[in-house]
Amino acid sequence: MPTAREALLDAALASLSGLPWSAVRMVDVASAAGVSRQTLYNEFGSKEGLARALVRREADAYLQGVERVLAAPSPGSPGGPPSPRRNLAAVAEWTVTQAFTRPVLRALLTGCWGERLPVPRPARAGSRASAVPAQRRADAGVPSPTDLLGLARDRAAAALQDRDGDVRNSCEIVLRLALSYVVAPAPVCGEGQCADPESWSPTTPTITSVIDTIFRVDTTSPRKTIP
Over residues 46-82, the pLDDT tens digits come to: 999 999 999 999 999 999 999 999 888 765 555 666 6
Q: What is the mean pLDDT of residues 4-17?
A: 96
pLDDT in tens, 123-139: 888 888 999 999 999 99
CA distance 119 to 55: 8
Tell me whether residue 113 is in a domain.
yes
Give me the percent of the chain exceeding a pLDDT of 70.
74
Please state, rounded to an integer, the average pLDDT across all residues of the chain.
Answer: 81
200 pLDDT exceeds 60?
A: no
% of the chain residues with pLDDT over 90: 48
**How many domains does the structure of the chain reveal?**
1
Question: What is residue 147's DSSP assignment?
Answer: H
DSSP letter for 132, please: S
Cβ neighbours for 38, distance < 8 A, ≥ 6 positions apart: none
User: What single letter denotes the amino acid at residue 156?
Assistant: A
Contact between 135 and 127 under an 8 Å Cβ cutoff? The reply is no
Residue 214 has pLDDT above 50, yes or no: yes
Give the pLDDT confidence of 171-189 residue by residue, as tens digits: 888 899 888 888 876 554 4
Q: Coil, helix or strand for 76? A: coil
The more confident residue out of 165 and 84 is: 84
- Residues contacting 208, CB < 8 A, separation 6+: 86, 89
Residue 2 lies in a domain: no
Nearest to 87 by CA among 148, 164, 33, 16: 164
The per-residue pLDDT for 207 is 54
Q: With a cut of 50, say whether residue 117 has pLDDT above it.
A: yes
Q: Is residue 184 part of a domain?
A: yes
Residue 175 makes CB contacts below 8 A (sequence gap 6+) with 91, 92, 95, 149, 152, 153, 156
**Does residue 191 sit within a domain?**
yes
Contact 199, 188 (CB under 8 A): yes
Q: Is the residue at 17 inside a domain? A: no
C-beta of residue 92 within 8 angstroms of C-beta of residue 175: yes
| pLDDT over threshold 90, residue 83 | no
Q: How far is CA 73 from CA 130, 152, 153, in A?
A: 41, 19, 20
Residue 190 domain-assigned (yes or no) = yes
For position 167, what pLDDT does the model report?
79
Confidence of residue 213 (pLDDT cuts 50, 70, 90): low
Flag whether pLDDT at 170 surpasses 90.
no
Residue 32 lies in a domain: no
Q: Would residue 53 count as lying in a domain?
A: no
Instruction: Give me the domain span that covers residue 95.
Output: 61-133+143-224
